[in-house]
């Protein structure tokens, strides 16, 4: 296993000790922060973990607020996985919008946590494949993991980026839910499939916010999966905008 430094933000001493022992035993290099201030101090000391495991229930600050601050401080390739007992969809959306890349509800199985860590780290370090994907006015820089609509950058989280490239790389084709889960998460994913729907919703919203109409590029094909539509060029007399076929 390649070297990977993890920052574990967990105020429960027993859980933190168990995670420290288990993660170390599987070849990771975890550092424990018992509260939000310790986590921020670790990052501000120019120590940039490959992945953060973040408990939202912290004694000194709101976990979502900390997630937002960590996301602003960390490089884009750093992964934030939320550990939480909160299971409502709106709470998950709030965490994702704050910068989390994934979430895991407590109590969780350690085998599932390990599977997610492997999947996240594998994909964040993958530099193979084409250098660029182009979809109308959208350019996806695969090496830098950046997306542009014209000259405007669309700031996507790592999982949103992986999801968009999985669809845009096969524009016009339906990609099944199972295939997307395997491509973006893991072939042996053990979590809820609504994870996919939440990420699709967040991706659509960011695309739409960046360039009105762009969010319509990702369509739902009921009973099958999702499709990224090829945009139809706007009429010559207009200054911009997108048009997508309505095959579903």
For the segment 115-133, what is each residue's pLDDT rounded down to a tens digit? 888 888 877 665 455 677 8
Can you tell me the mean pLDDT for 76-103? Answer: 86
The pLDDT, as a whole number, for residue 65 is 94
Residue 248 covered by a domain? no
Q: Which of 114, 123, 125 is nearest to 28 (CA)?
A: 114
Q: pLDDT tens digits for 152-172?
A: 899 998 889 989 998 988 888
Which residues fall within 8 angstroms of residue 103, CB to CB, at 6 or more apart? Answer: 81, 82, 83, 84, 92, 95, 96, 195
Q: Between residues 109 and 3, which one has the greater pLDDT? A: 109
DSSP state of 202: H
pLDDT at 60 exceeding the cut of 90? yes
At 213, the pLDDT band (50, 70, 90 cuts) reads confident
152, exposed or middle or buried, with CB in 10 Å at 0-12, 13-18, 19+? Answer: exposed
Q: Are residues 146 and 171 in the same domain?
A: yes
Residue 239 covered by a domain? no
The CATH number assigned to the domain holding 165 equals 1.10.10.10
Q: Are residues 98 and 141 in the same domain?
A: no
Residue 235 covered by a domain? no
Q: Are residues 17 and 116 in the same domain?
A: yes
CA angle 139, 144, 150 (to 5 degrees): 25
- Asked if residue 107 has a cis previous peptide bond (ω within 30° of 0), the answer is yes
> What is 90-124 written as a DSSP string?
HHHHHHHHTT-SEEEESS--HHHHHHHHHHHHHHH
DSSP state of 184: I
How confident is the prediction for the chain on average, in pLDDT?
83
With a pLDDT cut of 90, the percent of the chain lying above it is 35
Q: Are residues 86 and 179 in the same domain?
A: no
Residue 162 covered by a domain? yes
pLDDT at 186 exceeding the cut of 70? no
pTM: 0.58
Q: Are residues 146 and 185 in the same domain?
A: yes
The pLDDT, as a whole number, for residue 142 is 80
Residue 21 covered by a domain? yes
The pLDDT, as a whole number, for residue 75 is 78
Residue 233 covered by a domain? no
Q: Are residues 75 and 158 in the same domain?
A: no
CB atoms within 10 A of CB 132: 10
Q: Are residues 214 and 104 in the same domain?
A: no
* Residue 155 lies in domain: 132-228
- What is the C-alpha to C-alpha distance for residues 54 and 51, in angstroms, rounded to an integer? 10
Q: Are residues 87 and 60 in the same domain?
A: yes
């Amino acid at each position: 296993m390649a070297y990977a430094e993890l920052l574990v933000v967990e105020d429960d001493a027993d859980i933190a000790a168990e995670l420290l022992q288990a993660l170390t035993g599987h070849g990771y290099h975890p550092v424990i922060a018992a509260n939000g201030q310790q986590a921020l101090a670790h990052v501000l000391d120019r120590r940039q973990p490959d992945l953060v495991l973040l408990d939202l229930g912290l004694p000194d600050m709101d976990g979502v607020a900390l997630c937002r601050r960590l996301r602003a401080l960390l490089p884009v390739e750093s992964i934030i996985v939320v550990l939480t007992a909160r299971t409502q969809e709106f709470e998950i959306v709030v965490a994702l919008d704050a910068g989390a890349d994934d979430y895991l509800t407590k109590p969780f199985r350690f085998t599932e946590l390990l599977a997610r860590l492997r999947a996240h780290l594998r994909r964040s370090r993958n530099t193979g494949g084409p250098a660029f994907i182009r979809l109308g006015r959208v350019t996806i820089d695969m090496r830098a993991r950046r997306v542009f609509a014209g000259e405007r950058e669309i700031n996507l989280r790592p999982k949103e980026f992986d999801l968009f490239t999985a669809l845009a790389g096969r524009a016009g084709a339906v990609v099944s839910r199972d295939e997307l889960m395997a491509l973006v998460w893991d072939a042996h994913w053990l979590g809820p499939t609504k994870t996919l729907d939440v990420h699709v919703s967040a991706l659509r919203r960011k695309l739409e916010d960046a360039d009105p109409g762009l969010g319509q590029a990702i369509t739902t094909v009921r009973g099958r999966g999702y499709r990224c539509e090829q945009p139809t060029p706007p009429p010559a007399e207009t200054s911009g905008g997108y048009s997508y076929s309505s095959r579903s």
